[in-house]
Amino acid sequence: MYCKSLLHIKSTLKTIALFALLVLVFSCKKESEIQNTPKSKEVTAKDILGNPNYLAICYGGYRMNSREVQPTIAELKEDLKILAALNIKVVRTYNVHLAHASNVLKAISELKRENPKFEMYVMLGAWIDCKNAWTDLEPNHFEESERNEVEINEAVRLASNYSDIVKIIAVGNEAMVKWATSYYVQPSVILKWVNHLQQLKKENKLANDLWITCSDDFASWGGADASYKTQDLEELINAVDYVSMHTYPYHNSHYNPNFWNTPVEEQILSDTEKIDKAMHRSFEFAKMQYHTVKNYVRSINPSKPIHIGETGWSSSSDGFYGSEGSKASDEYKQSLYYNHMREWTNKEGISCFFFEAFDEPWKDSGNPFGSENHFGIFTVDGKAKHVLWNSVDKKVFENLNRSKKTISKTFNGNKDELMKTVLVPPSH
């Protein structure tokens, strides 16, 4: 009995030892595998900008005619899922003094937690303006608003807290161009804050691979008259990580229409041919402005990257761009412009933040038909404009909604009905 018990004990000990050995070997192997497994590389601004796999768009989630009604995080998540379905992975915001920007970041964070494969990054805008801007007092374009510091500090806080999402900070939006008479500042103001942010990177108070820029009209970047080409601008070009320029042939169809109006030699063409040629000239106009900026910037700094921070085309207008004006506004023309710009910029390695994702009725709240309300490639109630009809056909937006409405086509997808709204540009 004792011998049998002893043999049993020995057998048990052997089993335990063998089990322990197997556990140890497995654990070591597991640890080794973990150590040797390459960590996923964190995406940086350098990786994103100019990469056609990271399409960019300007985004405001406002659905009402006032920004006092902030979109909820649930509504922002709806929008971001819709954009992600289009392979858009970078969105641009414009200010941090309202809840919108911080809520966009919260929404993206939640989506990433819900789905680790969800990928979206932000170009975070910090609003900059001059002293007395948006008041009853005369704007002082040679002094800055006291609030600029508050805006920059909040942008820093958000970029630090959401470093996995915020890859770019843009100091100001069209803040240097002189036609922004309500608020523009001198380049020295933008330079001051860009240098400040770059110093925070050196002090490890901001991520070293966070890129700092200013997003402004092509004229502000030396693409127009000599008055913009100052020493401060040269220093700013050297200070930013890249130049973010805006180009709007749409607005120039009214203010500078030589490229837009139908020339004499095209009078014999069909209406559709006239429109197509006008839109191709518009595309060439945008390219010209980009290359004008590029030539000047490269004369200052040959290696400085240049991307398009804004360009777009409104689908409706009752003003300068409507039936009594340049006749530029409709979904057909918007579609042509969008496709021209995407094809060119993707091929050339230029990021293009198309303006914009969704119509925002607050922009010209007193005039529902104003052009500023209709730059979206989606309507405010989530209908896909003509540029996205093919995406609807491909069921890209299946199971996605905006305001509890499925994504459907404008004009019920009837091309003939759409074309009835398309006007031929004026003749020379």
For every residue of 374-407, DSSP letters joined together read: G--SB-TT--B-GGGHHHHHTTTTTT-EETTEE-
Provide the pLDDT for residue 41.
64
Provide the pLDDT for residue 312.
98
Is 384 within a domain?
yes
What SS3 state is found at 245?
Answer: strand
Handedness of CA 300, 190, 346, 251 (dihedral sign): negative
Pairing of strands 88-92, 121-126: parallel
Provide the pLDDT for residue 201.
98
Tens of pLDDT, residue by residue over 323-343, are 999 999 999 999 999 999 999
Is 223 within a domain?
yes
Is 262 within a domain?
no
Number of domains in the chain: 1
Is 302 within a domain?
yes
Give the residues across from 306 on adjacent strands. Answer: 243
Is 194 within a domain?
yes
Is 426 within a domain?
no
Tens of pLDDT, residue by residue over 233-249, are 999 999 999 999 999 99
Provide the pLDDT for residue 422.
98
Q: Which domain holds residue 172?
A: 42-256+284-407
Mean pLDDT (the chain) is 92
Distance CA 386, CA 373 (A): 17
Provide the pLDDT for residue 428.
81
Is 204 within a domain?
yes
Could you tell me if 65 and 78 are in contact, meaning their C-beta atoms sit under 8 angstroms apart? Answer: no
Spans in the chain with pLDDT lower than 50? 1-40
Provide the pLDDT for residue 150.
98
Q: What is the CATH number of the domain that holds 349?
A: 3.20.20.80
